[in-house]
Structure 1
Amino acid sequence: MDIALLLKAAILGIVEGLTEFLPISSTGHLIILGDLLDYNDETSKVFKIVIQLAAILAVCWDYRERLTKMVIGLPGDAPSQRFAAMLFVGFLPAAVLGFMFHSTIKALLFNPITVATALIVGGFVILYVEKRAYHPRVNSVDEMRWPDALKVGFAQAVAMIPGTSRSGATIMGGMIFGLSRKTAAEFSFFLAIPTMFAATAYDLYKNWALLHASDLPVFAVGFIASFLAAMWAVKSFIRFISNHTFVVFAWYRIVFGVIVLLTAYTGAVSWSHP
């Protein structure tokens, strides 16, 4: 087995796990890093699906008590039914729009230049949201109503543009629509579960022919690295936002995006283009 390839798998897995639930775009980081590591062939498409699945499974594990309670309570427990309905409503916009435009977006926008531009724009959006007067009216996920979930769902759909960040769009959208910082983050985590499971299943279906037994060691390394990194990141993120704003993530996005664009403009890095 190629040790260099296993190392690339570990690096990409860690990056996916660390960035999936932060407002800095995991997909964008994977596109840019895949370009730098020269791991952007056909097999890498399935690999990225696998490590994204690992990240969402880490969230399922972290929130297993809440999720188990919801599933068990679905037949007759009103709060569980309402919570499941919120997730379904929030999931719908991305599901419908993703089904319609998924292939087109991947073909035209999945490149480092688009990602860098979206990172910068998203960074300024975060700065704008944080500068606004902030008076949340919804202070827990249980207080949300279906219009809140639907609005966050449309915000999530914007994240189909790589570099936007699914978590960033849902958290910032939630804050704009009146959710508290922690509520927006937690609903973003929960909403990621049906969204990413659906996206993973669809991508696996589309790329099934690319699966090969010889790639299992590489996939396993990436999966484990992503799972462990995501578990740490989710817990750390919730602790962080209890006492901090998202401004640091905004400036990270802007600086990172500018560096990518500068390296492209100067020719220091030969980034791929659509």
Structure 2
Amino acid sequence: MSIWQAIILAIVEGITEFLPVSSTGHMIIASSFMGISHLEFTKMFTVNIQFGAILSVLVLYWKRFFQTTDFYFKLFVAFLPAAVIGFLLNDFIDALLENVWVVAISLLLGGIVLIFIDRIANDTREKVITFPTAFKIGFFQCIAMIPGVSRSASTIIGGMLNGLSRKQAAEFSFFLAVPTMAAAGGYKLLKTYDTIQKEDIQTLLIGNAVAFVVAMLAIKFFISFLTKYGFKVFGYYRIILGLVLLGLLASGYKLDVV
């Protein structure tokens, strides 16, 4: 993997990680088109640069992370379902990740849901997030274990269906990403860290730095756009992307998972 290929993947990660469009689907397309999806380093790189994206949330919302312990307990309660189910179904989830058809169909169906979610869950005023609400959102996050669903989309939709405003649901989704992505990324990194070569360190640092900056910009854009316009644009985009993926697969184009 060249430095420019690493930068492109990091940009894709930074843009898509917190938008409801599935970073998995975009990583598959970007890495396949660049011809690097088969490399073991690519798989490790796409996991590692998630830490740069996580850091963007901590920097943008650092004041929110200096709240009472109640804030952390609610994050833990929301994180718990994914931690338990992810551990129990780890092999099944890994098998799904090997199937690009699942990613394409998930993108398509998720796009349809996003088009209509604003009608189903009308935007409401912000309210206090209770422990039961946090727990329910945690179960919605588990749906994102199906590749192509999007962790951001599932948790935001879960929040809105439980009475949160678009902005409040999106921000809680960002906060929940910190323990979830750190745990998942940390676990995968422990399994692959011994494959990191000395010459790979510079590429990883650049990738994390780019993902960090781009993710910060994406979060700021997303909050503003979502508050004003809702989910429809993202829904149509997912449908188009899903159809493109299905078309490529049907035509015999080789798309490898990362």
- 2:100, 2:257 within 8 Å by CA — same for their partners in 1? yes
The DSSP-based 3-state class of the residue aligned with 1:243 is: helix
Give the count of matched residue pairs.
Answer: 257
Q: 1:186 aligns with which of 147, 160, 171?
A: 171
Other-structure match for 1:249: 234
Other-structure match for 1:94: 82
What is the one-letter code of the residue matched to 2:134?
Answer: A
Of stretches 215-224 and 118-127 in structure 1, the one that deviates more from structure 2 is: 215-224
Other-structure match for 2:101: 113
Report how far residue 118 of structure 1 moved.
0.7
Report how far residue 125 of structure 1 moved.
1.4
Q: 1:271 aligns with which of 251, 255, 258?
A: 255
Other-structure match for 1:49: 47
**RMSD between aligned residues:** 1.7
The DSSP-based 3-state class of the residue aligned with 1:134 is: coil
Report how far residue 54 of structure 1 moved.
0.6
- 2:123, 2:166 within 8 Å by CA — same for their partners in 1? no
1:118-133 superposed matches below 5 A: 118-132=106-120
Q: CA–CA distance in 2 between the matches of 1:133 and 1:101?
A: 30
Q: What's the TM-score, normalizing by structure 2?
A: 0.94
Give yes or no for the alignment of 1:27 onto 2:24. yes
Of stretches 248-257 and 207-216 in structure 1, the one that deviates more from structure 2 is: 207-216
Other-structure match for 2:139: 154
- 1:58, 1:227 within 8 Å by CA — same for their partners in 2? yes
Q: 1:214 aligns with which of 170, 179, 199?
A: 199
Give yes or no for the alignment of 1:224 onto 2:212. no
Q: CA–CA distance in 2 between the matches of 1:185 and 1:110?
A: 29
Q: CA–CA distance in 2 between the matches of 1:226 and 1:111?
A: 26
Give yes or no for the alignment of 1:63 onto 2:51. no
Of stretches 215-224 and 172-181 in structure 1, the one that deviates more from structure 2 is: 215-224
- 2:54, 2:177 within 8 Å by CA — same for their partners in 1? yes
Larger Rg: 1
Q: CA–CA distance in 2 between the matches of 1:35 and 1:190?
A: 31
Identity over the aligned pairs, expressed in percent?
44
Q: 1:198 aligns with which of 183, 189, 192?
A: 183
Runs of 4+ more than 4 Å apart: none
Report how far residue 85 of structure 1 moved.
1.3
- 1:118, 1:162 within 8 Å by CA — same for their partners in 2? yes
Q: CA–CA distance in 2 between the matches of 1:44 and 1:100?
A: 26
List per-residue Cα deviations over 1:235-267 (Å, max 9, x = no partner).
Answer: 111111221111000000000010111122123
Structure 2 unaligned segments of length 5 or more: list them.
none
List per-residue Cα deviations over 1:148-197 (Å, max 9, x = no partner).
Answer: 00110000011011110000000011111211111100100111111111
The DSSP-based 3-state class of the residue aligned with 1:163 is: coil
Structure 1 unaligned segments of length 5 or more: list them.
71-79
Other-structure match for 1:104: 92
Report how far residue 133 of structure 1 moved.
5.6
Report how far residue 273 of structure 1 moved.
7.5
Of stretches 162-171 and 125-134 in structure 1, the one that deviates more from structure 2 is: 125-134
What is the one-letter code of the residue matched to 1:152?
Answer: I
Report how far residue 208 of structure 1 moved.
2.1
Q: CA–CA distance in 1 between the matches of 2:167 and 2:188?
A: 31
Change (3 A) 1:133 1:111: closer
- 1:32, 1:111 within 8 Å by CA — same for their partners in 2? no
- 1:159, 1:169 within 8 Å by CA — same for their partners in 2? yes
